[in-house]
Structure 1
Amino acid sequence: MKKFALIGAGGYIAPRHMKAIKAVGGDLLVACDRNDSVGVLDSHFPDAHFFTEFERFDGHIDSLRRRGERIDYVSICSPNYLHDSHIRFGLRAGSDVICEKPLVLHPRNLDELAEIEADTGRRINTILQLRLHPIIQDLKAKVAQSNRRHTVDLTYIASRGRWYHASWKGDEQKSGGVATNIGVHFFDMLAYVFGTLQSQTAHLRDPERAGGFLCYEKADVRWFLSVDREDLPESVRHQKSTYRSITIDGKELEFSEGFTDLHTGSYEAILNGQGNGIADVRSSIEVVAAFRTLPIVSTGEIHPIVVDRRGLMS
């Protein structure tokens, strides 16, 4: 039985990791979060030790190691800006790491983490769950067999309340901004399906939304991301808080379902030695990092929602 520790047990995504750990037959020995609203542990690992102070969490893991009870995996669900530090901790504690997206905020950290991997002999794994979605896998196979260039429109609106901007998620220095916080797994999926990125343009960047244009080997992609409920289409605004749409060559790709067990699939792959590591995540981290500094331009293929929001945009 593999032994796990969890950093960020009070976070939104942490229950999916707890479920995945249990599903793969693992045991969560210890968890940490500065907030103590972690009753969800009772549904998965009620006997797990829990700490609100990282120093005590660190000490507990070190005590386990000294008794010969090494933690096999440290799972990380902490705020984005802490991922780099927590990954380093896990590696130096003698554990492999499983980290939520985005792995880090800056590409330079990937090179430093690769050096620590080499020094410690441990491995970093990240969650790139869209790669496991059957619809995306089928799309990748079809694109690989096609010689044509595709036109893609990506829209993702995950409406959030006022709390969002008061939390670390609303602070670009901590979250990386909207494109990083809610979009990085989509950018990974686009490169996974359509190949190497050739160029990108930024059309919109503010605290609530982001949009731009990406040119991949096999596709041109207009994209728009938002956390503002006012961007939801009228047809769904009063029924749903989230809207996903991907059209390829004018045809809607239906993949609104099938997301619930993708973390479990990710854990299964990791335990089988087939997880996604630093090399896999580099493209998406470079895209979102570059987007944060690109000049905003109003020419080129602009997403219709961006046009509507800006009135475009003279």
Structure 2
Amino acid sequence: MKTFALIGAAGYIAPRHMRAIKAVGGDLAVALDPSDSVGIIDSHFPDAHFFVEFERFDRHIDKLRRAGRGIDFVSVCSPNYLHDAHCRFGMRANADVICEKPLVLNPWNIDGLSDIEQETGRRISTILQLRLHPALQALKARIDATDRTDHEVVLTYVTSRGKWYNSSWKGDTGKAGGVATNIGIHFFDMLTWLFGPVTKQTLYLRDRDRAAGTLQCGKAEVRWFLSVDRADLPAELKAGQTTFRSVAVDGEEVEFSEGFTDLHTRSYEEILAGRGFGIDLVRPSINIASAIRDMTVVTLDKSAHPFALRR
């Protein structure tokens, strides 16, 4: 049985990690969060130790290590800007790390984590669950089977958030990286995985709640639009539907709405089997998202995403 520590136990994504740890036969030994609203732990690991102070959490893990019962994995679900530090902590605690995306906010931080991997002999794996989605794996197989390099892709993701969003760390660009990082990083990874490295990117829109631009990948021209504003939802959506996710390749919709519920568990299974997604794989998406924060916004033209043009 592998033992786990979880940093960020009160966050939105933490329950998926708890379920995954349970599903792979692991044991959550200890968890940390400055918020004590973590009753969800009882549904999975009621005997887990819990701390609201990092210092006491650190001490507890060190005591376990010295007693010969060290942690095998540290799962990092903390706010984006803390991932780097918490990954460093995990490796220095002689554990492998499973980190939610984005691994880091800036590409130069990847090099530092790589150095610590070499120093400690530990490994970081990132949750890139879209690479494990059966529909997207089938799409990749079709793309790889041809020599075509002129695919046209339209990516649209609108996931409405309430007023709380911008009052939390997620609305702080310095902590979350901006909307393109916070909700778009896994899509940027998906696009580069499917179509190859980015050779050019353009930014048409960037504000607190939305961003839009284009990517020229090795095999595709991509128009993308990301938003957390419900006003950007298509009018034709069913009443009460708060999220719109669409990827169209050469005018054909790629249906991958189903099959998301167990992808964190699949990710953990792959990691424990030695097939996790290492830190070098995240570099392309981190480069894209980081560049968006500093790029000059250009005037809208016909190459922009239709949702950007309608504003």
TM category (shorter chain) comes to over 0.9
Once residues 162 and 236 of structure 1 are traced to their aligned partners in structure 2, the CA distance between those partners, rounded to angstroms, is: 21
| Residue of structure 2 in register with 1:304 after alignment | 306
* Worse overlay, 11-20 or 298-307: 298-307
Amino acid at match of 1:280: L
| Residue of structure 2 in register with 1:168 after alignment | 169
Q: Which secondary structure does the structure 1 equivalent of 2:155 belong to?
A: strand
User: Any residues of structure 2 matched to 1:128-143 within 5 Å, and which?
Assistant: 128-143=128-143
1:10-62 per-position Cα deviation (integer Å, ceiling 9, x unaligned) = 00000000000000000000000000000100110000000011111001000
| Residue of structure 2 in register with 1:293 after alignment | 294
Once residues 304 and 237 of structure 1 are traced to their aligned partners in structure 2, the CA distance between those partners, rounded to angstroms, is: 20
TM-score between both structures, scaled by the size of structure 1: 0.97
Once residues 302 and 187 of structure 2 are traced to their aligned partners in structure 1, the CA distance between those partners, rounded to angstroms, is: 21
Question: Do 1:199 and 1:215's aligned partners in 2 also have CA atoms closer than 8 Å?
Answer: yes
| Residue of structure 2 in register with 1:262 after alignment | 263
Once residues 236 and 55 of structure 1 are traced to their aligned partners in structure 2, the CA distance between those partners, rounded to angstroms, is: 48
Amino acid at match of 1:79: P
Q: Does 1:211 align with 2:212?
A: yes
| Residue of structure 1 in register with 2:85 after alignment | 85
| Residue of structure 1 in register with 2:285 after alignment | 284
Question: Do 1:151 and 1:220's aligned partners in 2 also have CA atoms closer than 8 Å?
Answer: yes
Structure 1 gap segments, 5+ residues each: 310-314
Once residues 145 and 68 of structure 1 are traced to their aligned partners in structure 2, the CA distance between those partners, rounded to angstroms, is: 50
Amino acid at match of 2:201: Q
Q: Which secondary structure does the structure 1 equivalent of 2:244 belong to?
A: strand
Q: Which secondary structure does the structure 2 equivalent of 1:69 belong to?
A: coil
Q: Does 1:13 align with 2:26?
A: no
1:59-89 per-position Cα deviation (integer Å, ceiling 9, x unaligned) = 1000100101110000000000000000000
User: Any residues of structure 2 matched to 1:215-230 within 5 Å, and which?
Assistant: 215-230=216-231
Give the Å deviation of 1:238: 2.5
| Residue of structure 2 in register with 1:30 after alignment | 30
1:72-107 per-position Cα deviation (integer Å, ceiling 9, x unaligned) = 000000000000000000010000000000000000
Amino acid at match of 2:113: L
Amino acid at match of 2:101: K
| Residue of structure 2 in register with 1:312 after alignment | none
> Which structure 1 residue ranges, 4+ long, deviate > 2 Å from structure 2?
none
Q: Which secondary structure does the structure 1 equivalent of 2:294 belong to?
A: coil
Q: Which secondary structure does the structure 2 equivalent of 1:281 belong to?
A: helix
Once residues 146 and 202 of structure 2 are traced to their aligned partners in structure 1, the CA distance between those partners, rounded to angstroms, is: 26
Cα root mean square deviation, aligned: 0.8
Report how many residues are paired. 309
Give the Å deviation of 1:237: 6.0
Structure 2 gap segments, 5+ residues each: none
Once residues 197 and 137 of structure 2 are traced to their aligned partners in structure 1, the CA distance between those partners, rounded to angstroms, is: 17
1:179-222 per-position Cα deviation (integer Å, ceiling 9, x unaligned) = 00000000000011101111100110000000000000000000
CA change 1:300–1:197 in 2 (3 A) is farther
Question: Do 1:229 and 1:237's aligned partners in 2 also have CA atoms closer than 8 Å?
Answer: no
| Residue of structure 2 in register with 1:180 after alignment | 181
Q: Which secondary structure does the structure 2 equivalent of 1:11 belong to?
A: coil
Identity score, percent: 64
| Residue of structure 2 in register with 1:94 after alignment | 94
Q: Which secondary structure does the structure 2 equivalent of 1:202 belong to?
A: strand
1:225-270 per-position Cα deviation (integer Å, ceiling 9, x unaligned) = 0000010111226221111011111111111111010000000000
| Residue of structure 2 in register with 1:45 after alignment | 45
Question: Do 1:88 and 1:113's aligned partners in 2 also have CA atoms closer than 8 Å?
Answer: yes
Amino acid at match of 2:286: I
Once residues 201 and 236 of structure 2 are traced to their aligned partners in structure 1, the CA distance between those partners, rounded to angstroms, is: 31
Give the Å deviation of 1:300: 5.7
